[in-house]
Amino acid sequence: MLDDPPILTVRRRFPRPTDAQLRRFRGAMAAQVVDAMDGRGALDSDIKPQVPPGRSLVGPALTAFAYPADNLALLGCLDVLKAGDIVVCAVDGYRKTALTGDLLAGMLRNAGCVALITDGAIRDQDGVEGMGLPVWHGGVTPNSPARTGPGTIGLPVICGGVHVESGDLIVADRDGVVVVPFTGIDAVADRLDRIRVAEAETETKVRNGMTRPPWLDGLFGTDAVREVE
Residue 183 belongs to a domain: yes
Check: CB of residue 77 under 8 Å from CB of residue 64. Answer: yes
Residue 52 is predicted with a pLDDT of 72
What mean pLDDT is predicted for residues 141-160? Answer: 97
Query: CB-based contacts of 216: which residues, under 8 Å, 6+ apart?
Result: none
Residue 157 belongs to a domain: yes
CA dist., res. 74 & res. 133, Å (int): 14
Residue 130 belongs to a domain: yes
Three-class secondary structure of residue 143 per DSSP? coil
Residue 108 is predicted with a pLDDT of 98
The pTM of the full predicted model, rounded to 2 decimals, is: 0.92
What mean pLDDT is predicted for residues 203-209? Answer: 94
CA dist., res. 170 & res. 62, Å (int): 10
Residue 41 belongs to a domain: yes
Domain of 144, CATH number, reads: 3.50.30.40
CA dist., res. 159 & res. 149, Å (int): 18
Residue 48 belongs to a domain: yes
Q: By percentage, how much of the chain surpasses pLDDT 90?
A: 88
Q: Give the Cβ contact number of residue 213 at 10 Å.
A: 11
What mean pLDDT is predicted for residues 44-59? Answer: 87
Residue 220 belongs to a domain: no
Beta-bridge partner residues of 89: 64, 118
CA torsion 133→138→142→143, rounded to 10°?
-110
Residue 223 belongs to a domain: no
Helices (DSSP H) in the chain: which residue ranges? 19-25, 30-36, 72-76, 102-110, 125-131, 185-207, 214-217
Compute CA distances 201 → 158, 194, 206, whole Å.
Answer: 37, 11, 9
Q: Residue 3 above 90 pLDDT?
A: no
Residue 53 is predicted with a pLDDT of 67
What mean pLDDT is predicted for residues 15-33? Answer: 97
In the chain, the number of structural domains is 1
CA dist., res. 106 & res. 190, Å (int): 36
What is the residue range of 141's domain? 8-206
Residue 218 belongs to a domain: no
CA dist., res. 168 & res. 59, Å (int): 8
Residue 1 is predicted with a pLDDT of 53
CA dist., res. 79 & res. 81, Å (int): 6
Mean of pLDDT over the chain:
95
Residue 114 is predicted with a pLDDT of 96
